[in-house]
Amino acid sequence: MTAACAAPILTARSPEAVLNLLRGNGMRVSTARRAVVTTLFAAGGPVSAEQIAAGLDGSRLEVDLASVYRNLEKLEQLGVVRHFHAGHGPGRYELAGEHEREYLACDRCGAVVEASPEELEPIREEIRKRFGYEVRFTHFPMVGLCAGCGEADL
C-alpha cells in the first residue's frame, strides 16, 4: 500500500471526490466504503458509527458495524474524517474540514455546538498561563449544560 497521509489532504467537496482520493491512496471502493462516505455527506453533522451502519434512516443495518469502524479509522487516517467523544455515549464521526473544530457538549440533552480554535484561544491562553496545560476541545469537548437545559435546571 502507498504510504498513508497523516495530515488532512484537502476538504472533500463530494462523496466522489473522497472516493477518488481513496482510490489514489491504493484503497478500493467497495459498497460498504461508499455507503459510509455518502452517509457521512448526507448526515451533514456528527453521527455515531451505529447511525452510519444503519444508513441514517435508522432502518436495518446495511453495513456491518465492524466494517464501519474499520472504514472510519482509515478515513480518519487520511484526514477525511474526524471524531470526538461528547460525554457518555458513542463517539461521533463527521467529515473533516480544512479548519480544526472544537466543541461544547450538553451533558443533559447531548446537544453539541461548534467553536473555532480562534474564539477559544483566550481560554486556552488562560489555562496555559494558569496550569501549563495546552487544552484542546477537539477530541474531548467541554461539557456542561446548554442554554435550554440550564434554564430547565432552575
Q: If we measure between CA atoms, which residue out of 9, 12, 49, 14 comes closest to residue 32?
A: 49
* Residue 42 interacting partner from DNA, a second copy, none (CB closer than 5 to 8 Å by kind): none
Site for a second copy contains 104 (CB under 8 A): yes
Q: Which letter does DSSP use for residue 4 in this model?
A: P
Site for DNA contains 60 (CB under 7 A): no
| Nearer residue to DNA within complex by CB, 89 or 150 | 89
Measured CA to CA, the distance from residue 138 to residue 80 in angstroms comes to 15
* Count of residues making up the chain: 154
| Member of 1, 13, 98, 119 binding a second copy (CB under 8 A) | 119
Site for DNA contains 33 (CB under 7 A): yes
Site for a second copy contains 87 (CB under 8 A): yes
Site for a second copy contains 108 (CB under 8 A): no
Measured CA to CA, the distance from residue 107 to residue 146 in angstroms comes to 8
Q: If we measure between CA atoms, which residue out of 134, 116, 117 comes closest to residue 126?
A: 134
Site for a second copy contains 144 (CB under 8 A): yes
Q: Which letter does DSSP use for residue 113 in this model?
A: E
Give min distance, CB of 65 to a second copy, in A.
19
**Three-state DSSP state, 26:** coil
Contact residues toward DNA (CB under 7 A) are 1, 22-23, 26-33, 48-50, 63-67, 69-71, 73-74, 85, 89-91
